[in-house]
Amino acid sequence: MSDLLPLAPGALLFAAAVNSLVFVEGSGVLVVDTGLDDSHARKLLRALEAQRLTPTAILNTHSHADHHGGNATFLKRFPGLPIFAPPFEAAIIQHPLLEPLYLYGAHPPQVLRTKFLLAPASPAQAVAAGRVTLGSVAVELIDVPGHASQMYAVRFGDVLYAADALFGEEPLAKHPLTFCVDSTSMKASAAGLLDVPGVRLTVPGHGNPTENLTGLVATNLAAFGAVTEAVLTAVQDASTVDTALKRVCDALGVQMTTPSAALLNRSVISAHLAELADLGAVVLDVQDNELRFRAV
């Protein structure tokens, strides 16, 4: 864990397993993503206090538990602190059971209701993309859907927080099956970040800041494409999602050890299968009471 690292005037990074960003303008202090849990949030609050910074608003870039799990700790310290999120994601942050519910497809068993998939509820308000002022801090919110149903990257001056639209090189190498609910959008969102003008420094949601946005986008797009290829190969023989998941994990050297990892990766496979189906490269049909996917 670290303190707040200055990236640019008014832009601070709290580097952790999940990064938090702090953007300061006058008396405005916008905290972007609050981490997985109470522990992350308490360390972040201590770092803010050490610099005499009082948060004026929170932005959650998307609804995954590791990006808003610390909200409750902030609200305990600063009751009424406004929390903003993309509209679809705000609904999940207010009703966080939706995350394990959509991953599992039914009310999830206890083993899937851990802090990694189920954060405490918090009163997030919807904010539209574009140039906005949140807690007296002017930022640009950029739509980057795909990793989640909606997600915002955030530009503050020449700093771009890509949220989970881009992963750092290390986490990407460690987790080749990048989570997504829509792989088509995920690829378009990553490529679209190259069009954001005036970016000097890019910070991924997980990983280190870089001045090489072009290189990071290329690495991410190559990784996403490799998964699509592996999924297509996995359904050369018609298979269920779960069989395709096993084949892709074997091919990419992924070893799953928890039910939540299996469920998250299963969504990734489903997303790439949907992309391939919409491209006409894969068909779905039901045989012997199995929903099967098959390359054509």
Binding site for Zn ion (CB under 5 A): 64, 164
8 A C-beta contact, residue 116 and residue 66: yes
The three-state secondary structure class of 1 is coil
- CB closer to Zn ion out of 40 and 64: 64
Least distance (Å) between residue 277 CB and Zn ion: 24
The C-alpha atoms of residue 86 and residue 130 are separated, in whole angstroms, by 11
The three-state secondary structure class of 23 is strand
**The two structure tokens encoding residue 196:** 């954001």
Residue with tokens 């904010």: 127
Sequence letter at residue 167:
F
Least distance (Å) between residue 103 CB and Zn ion: 12
The C-alpha atoms of residue 233 and residue 235 are separated, in whole angstroms, by 5
Least distance (Å) between residue 157 CB and Zn ion: 24
Phi/psi at 192 (5° precision): -65, -25
- CB closer to Zn ion out of 56 and 71: 71
- CB closer to Zn ion out of 203 and 282: 203
8 A C-beta contact, residue 122 and residue 11: no
Least distance (Å) between residue 206 CB and Zn ion: 8
- CB closer to Zn ion out of 19 and 228: 19
Residue number of the CB closest to Zn ion reads: 64
Q: Which of 190, 119, 177, 115 is nearest to 151 (CA)?
A: 190
Least distance (Å) between residue 274 CB and Zn ion: 19
- CB closer to Zn ion out of 234 and 263: 263
Least distance (Å) between residue 178 CB and Zn ion: 10
8 A C-beta contact, residue 128 and residue 150: no
8 A C-beta contact, residue 68 and residue 81: no
- CB closer to Zn ion out of 164 and 182: 164
